[in-house]
């Protein structure tokens, strides 16, 4: 059973439909106790980082996610749910969980022909192996919608990159935590494959 964290900032129904499509049993919850004790967590998110983090703090869900990470629960972060895992975000100067050193930054593009938000399909480059990326190949396209990007402090946490004016991280990980800036639930066969692998992942990076 996969538990989807419901903190009023996630694309929950799309994530659950994607899980259903690959035969994964899932539920979403606002109960911190259920999150803290979950076997596996999906931590999705869309919207504003400061609002999202304020809700997590107010409801106790933030502490529950932190507890789950510390006890070794396999966690998959998506979009804002990935951005909040770093130390901080430039969106509202928001403190993050600090699970992975780094900062979420606003796109500042020299090429003004490129649009912000970065929206649509982009191919990715796999930078290092990970069980959740085992069937993802460099050049595969995934779906993005974001105005801020992941900037981990250390290359060892970067698992995939893409280019939108410059190359940046779109998948990062540490221990039992993996997260993507792209939306696997909206990325067709490739994204569904990542979700299916998460269902069988034991939280070991390699």
Q: Rounded distance, CA 137 to CA 126, Å? A: 7
Is the pLDDT confidence value at 113 over 90? no
Q: Are 118 and 107 in contact (CB under 8 A)?
A: yes
Per-residue pLDDT at 157:
98
Mean pLDDT of 34-60: 94
Total tally of structural domains belonging to the chain: 1
Q: What is the dihedral sign for C-alpha 47, 96, 150, 188?
A: negative
Does residue 18 belong to any structural domain of this protein?
yes
Is the pLDDT confidence value at 112 over 90? no
Per-residue pLDDT at 12:
86
Write out the residue range of the structural domain in which residue 171 sits: 2-200
Q: Rounded distance, CA 69 to CA 162, Å? A: 27
Q: Annotated catalytic, 93?
A: no
Per-residue pLDDT at 45:
86
Q: Annotated catalytic, 183?
A: yes
Q: Which of these is catalytic: 19, 91, 169, 185?
A: 185
Give the pLDDT band of residue 114 (cuts 50, 70, 90): confident
Is the pLDDT confidence value at 99 over 80? yes
Q: How far apart, in Å, are the Cα atoms of 99 and each of 21, 65, 68, 70, 87?
A: 30, 11, 12, 10, 7
More confident residue, 87 or 8: 87
Query: Could you read off the pLDDT of 69-95 as tens digits, one per residue?
Result: 999 999 999 999 999 999 999 999 999
Query: In the chain, what's the furthest Cα-to-Cα distance?
Result: 47
Per-residue pLDDT at 50:
93
| Residue position matching structure tokens 């190359």 | 167
Per-residue pLDDT at 39:
96
Q: Are 148 and 49 in contact (CB under 8 A)?
A: yes
Does residue 206 belong to any structural domain of this protein?
no
Q: How far apart, in Å, are the Cα atoms of 86 and each of 32, 96, 130, 162?
A: 21, 5, 19, 19
Does residue 205 belong to any structural domain of this protein?
no
Q: Which of these is catalytic: 25, 67, 79, 93?
A: 79
Q: Annotated catalytic, 169?
A: no
Does residue 71 belong to any structural domain of this protein?
yes
Q: Are 50 and 94 in contact (CB under 8 A)?
A: yes
CATH code for the domain of 95: 3.40.50.880
Per-residue pLDDT at 109:
77
Q: Is 146 helix (H, G, I), strand (E, B) or coil?
A: strand
Degrees, nearest 5: CA angle 21-176-87: 105
Per-residue pLDDT at 63:
97
Q: Rounded distance, CA 155 to CA 63, Å? A: 27
Q: Is 175 helix (H, G, I), strand (E, B) or coil?
A: coil
Does residue 9 belong to any structural domain of this protein?
yes
Query: Could you read off the pLDDT of 124-150 as tens digits, one per residue?
Result: 999 999 999 998 888 899 999 889 999
% of the chain exceeding 90 in pLDDT: 79
Look at the chain and count its residues. Answer: 206
Is the pLDDT confidence value at 203 over 90? yes
Pair of tokens at residue 141: 């396209």
């Amino acid at each position: 059973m996969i538990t989807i964290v419901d903190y009023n900032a996630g694309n929950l129904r799309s994530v659950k439909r994607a899980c259903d499509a690959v035969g994964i049993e899932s539920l979403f919850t606002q109960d911190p106790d259920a999150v803290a004790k979950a076997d596996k967590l999906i931590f999705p998110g869309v919207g504003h980082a400061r609002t999202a983090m304020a809700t997590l703090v107010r409801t106790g869900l933030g502490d529950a996610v932190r507890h789950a990470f510390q006890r070794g629960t396999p966690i998959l972060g998506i979009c804002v749910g990935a951005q909040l895992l770093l130390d901080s975000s430039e969106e509202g100067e928001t403190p993050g969980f600090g699970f992975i050193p780094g900062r979420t930054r606003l796109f500042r593009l020299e090429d003004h022909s490129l649009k912000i938000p970065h929206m649509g399909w982009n191919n990715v480059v796999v930078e290092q192996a990970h069980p959740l990326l085992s069937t993802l190949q460099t050049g595969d396209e995934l779906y993005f919608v974001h105005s801020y990007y992941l900037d981990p402090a250390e290359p060892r946490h970067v698992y995939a990159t893409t280019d939108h004016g410059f190359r940046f991280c779109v998948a990062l990980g540490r221990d039992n935590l993996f997260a993507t800036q792209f939306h696997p639930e909206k990325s067709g066969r490739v994204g569904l494959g990542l979700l299916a692998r998460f269902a069988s992942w034991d939280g070991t990076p390699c």
